[in-house]
Amino acid sequence: MVRIISVYGGMLLSAMGKTLLLALLGLFFACIIGMFFGILSVLKNKACNIIAQIFVDAIRGVPMIVLAFFVYFGIPYFFNTTIGGFNVSLTALQAGTICLALNCGAYMSEIIRAGIESVDVGQMEAARSLGLSYGKAMRRVVLPQAIRTMIPSIINQFIITLKDTSILSVIGFPELVNTAKNVQANTFMAFQTWLIVGIMYLIVITALSRTAKLLERRLKRGR
């Protein structure tokens, strides 16, 4: 145990850094995707609603490991060989970010839709009756209230996404799980290696959820 920490500690820590980098990149784009499709799904426009629904259904209906293989191997193959003539290649970080952004984005879009729908329609009607446009009413009245109810679910989704980075070890990104596999192969100390990795995840995620609780309480007080 001590030997693993002293010899491989730095390596595991830097892998944790890569895990966090991947999670942050994924979450950043997931927020944009989620906001986009979330708004599409509440607009009073059937075509927009259907597009958002198809996106959410498609992503939710496919395991992330399949999505990862598809993005990392499938898409470059499609452009370079099936169509031919392209020279597309994705790094594991790029592919991983795309997977996380799509996957988390689909769930975020559902959280955002539910959050907006949880705000009483009277709020929108009152704003519109004063002459505000739909967009202004959404931005100034509905979304600020919706975000407050969404925060616990969004944080929960952040935690899930952080854990889901481990799935991306399958496309060779040197995040924590992938690195730990190498440590285990070198040392044959499976128990110690995975115990350390488990504790590392536990610390980061607990810290994240505690901060989230604090933030949530502050938002409630500052209403």
Partner 1 sequence: MAANKNNVKIEVKNLKKDFEDLEVLKDISTTVYEGEVVVLIGPSGSGKSTFLRCLNRLEEATAGTIIIDGYDITDKKIDINKVREKIGMVFQHFNLFNNLNVIKNMTLAPLELKKASPEEANENAMRMLRRVGLEDKAESYPSQLSGGQKQRVAIARSLCMHPDIMLFDEPTSALDPEMVGEVLQVMKDLAAEGMTMVIVTHEMGFAREVADRVLFMDGGYIVEEGPPQELLLHPKEPRTIDFLNKVL
Instruction: Tell me which residues touch partner 1 (CB under 8 A).
Output: 120, 122-123, 125-133, 136, 140-141, 144-145, 148, 223
CB atoms within 10 A of CB 122: 9
Residue number with CB closer to partner 1 (99 or 137)? 137
Q: How far from each other are the two terminal CA atoms of the chain, in whole angstroms?
A: 48
Residue number with CB closer to partner 1 (91 or 118)? 118
Residue number with CB closer to partner 1 (17 or 144)? 144
Report in angstroms how near the CB of residue 222 gets to partner 1 at its nearest. Answer: 11
Report in angstroms how near the CB of residue 43 gets to partner 1 at its nearest. Answer: 16
Q: Which residues contact 95 (CB under 8 A, 6 or more apart)?
A: 68, 71, 72, 168, 171, 173
**How large is the angle between the packed helices 143-164 and 92-118, nearest 10 degrees?**
150
Report in angstroms how near the CB of residue 213 gets to partner 1 at its nearest. Answer: 22
Which whole-number Å values give the CA distances from 35 to 9, 52, 53, 120, in the listed order?
Answer: 38, 11, 14, 20
Residue number with CB closer to partner 1 (148 or 181)? 148
Report in angstroms how near the CB of residue 128 gets to partner 1 at its nearest. Answer: 7
Residue number with CB closer to partner 1 (28 or 134)? 134
Report in angstroms how near the CB of residue 48 gets to partner 1 at its nearest. Answer: 19
Instruction: Render the burial of 190-215: b for 16+ CB within 10 Å, e for the rest.
Output: eebbeebbeebbeebeeebeeebeee
